[in-house]
Structure 1
Amino acid sequence: MSEPVFLSMPEHVAIIMDGNGRWAKQRGLPRAMGHRKGVEAVRETVRAAGDAGIKYLTLFAFSSENWRRPEAEVSDLMGLLKAFIRRDLAELHAQNVRIRIIGDRHSLRSDILNLLLEAEETTRDNTALTLVIAFNYGSRDEIARAMVSLAEDVEAGRLRAREITPELVNARLDTAGIPDPDLIIRTSGEERLSNFLLWQAAYSEFVFVPEYWPDFGRELFYAALEKFAARDRRFGGLSPQAAAVGT
């Protein structure tokens, strides 16, 4: 079956994958089952994004705040991440998908870090969809690390404070070289960013869906793209129609 054609296509879609635990609780299952089902939703959504021609897909996989969860749940999430990379890396590589990791890497266990680095290195020359995995990621932490980097350059005399621009800040963020998200999707009915891409979301469109992440997939992804296509994006200016009326 052919893929739908959208009038306007986002270059970069970012997703806050929310609701695994509530999905499991609703069915009387342990939270771990919700996370496992969520991995299946990841696979289907990545394929749907590639088929639709999306250039960048960012998934909020594990926040820097998620370490506060029970140790058993964190351990299960780490195991799922390792299993996903080991199982799916070859397929993603064969589909010409490039993997990029954003987030603080300094405190990660060596086994996790090495797997993430392997995924990036294996796929670094691929040119189709770029799959950005936000792992141990918090936007405030990301911005603070960028500010420290700029401050160090100022202290060393390599940069003057008044030379700092939004473009220079962009270049110090984890997402350097990645366009800002055009569309941010959040599942589970919650309507907040939760410390995700705060700087980059300045002009993003938002679509909030009531379904929990394990129930997300191709159909709901395409429905979000349809909503995006109907939006009038002005970036602080006037739409072409309004500009024409004013002339």
Structure 2
Amino acid sequence: MRRKWFSILLTFTLIWLVLTPSLWAGQVITQEVKLWAKKALQQEKTLKTTTAPNTLAVLYFHNQTGWSKLDLLQKGLTLMLITDLSKIKEINILERVKMQALVEELGFGISGLVKAKTFPRVGRLLGAQHLVGGDIVKGKMENFQLKSDLLKVSTERVFGQAMAEGKLLSELFRMEKDLVFKIIKLLKIELLSKERKELEKPLTTSTEALFYFLQGIKHSDWGDFDKAKESHVAALNEDPDFVLAAEAIQEIESLSLEEKKACKSERNRLVRGLKRKLMR
């Protein structure tokens, strides 16, 4: 009975998403995005840093806690911040999929991308004026800290730091919102009361739903769309109001079989390349 009810709810949710506008930029690394990353690298020497105000890229966070469960938050916090910051008209937020495509093309992996020395290069390739990077660190007692640096790409200098502290995972959503508002303040953006209220809304009310969703993003990045969809469905089952999970399902279902095969083939090529590097 529960499964039938959930199937009906999912159908209506997807229909609603088709008929309504969304801030969702997509989370599948398509061939078009991969070609963009290759072209950006080929033209790297001639690229110029954009002068458009508040063009912002949010890099992956670095989990320094030693707690492997939080590894999903390395991409998760980035995605949460992008989702919130994209609601502000004064900020031109860059898509996560472009950053992921660059990660793959550069052969960095998350561990390489979160190193401070790579920030300026990635910023220039993305065409960003500002970069937001960060760390997840263990604080005192049971507390954790989310630390974030804001870097101006043209000068390669950090011009501000934001920090949120609390218990993970019970205070994760509050901590992410604290970080968002501090980043906005550092960018010297004044929010309208309507914008502030919109930003205060949580991505989801369930940490279980969030982690299922992030598992789905992980599978999607690896080209395993069947597992990605399963994870997103599980997220929506935990929180039927989790719009991003429903949109992710819709995106995967809209991919053609040829696109899925091409993504998987490209993923296998990258894996083989990484294996060869490790064997040297």
TM-score in terms of structure 2 length: 0.25
TM-score (norm 1): 0.27
Relative contact order higher in (CA < 8 Å, ≥ 6 apart)? 1
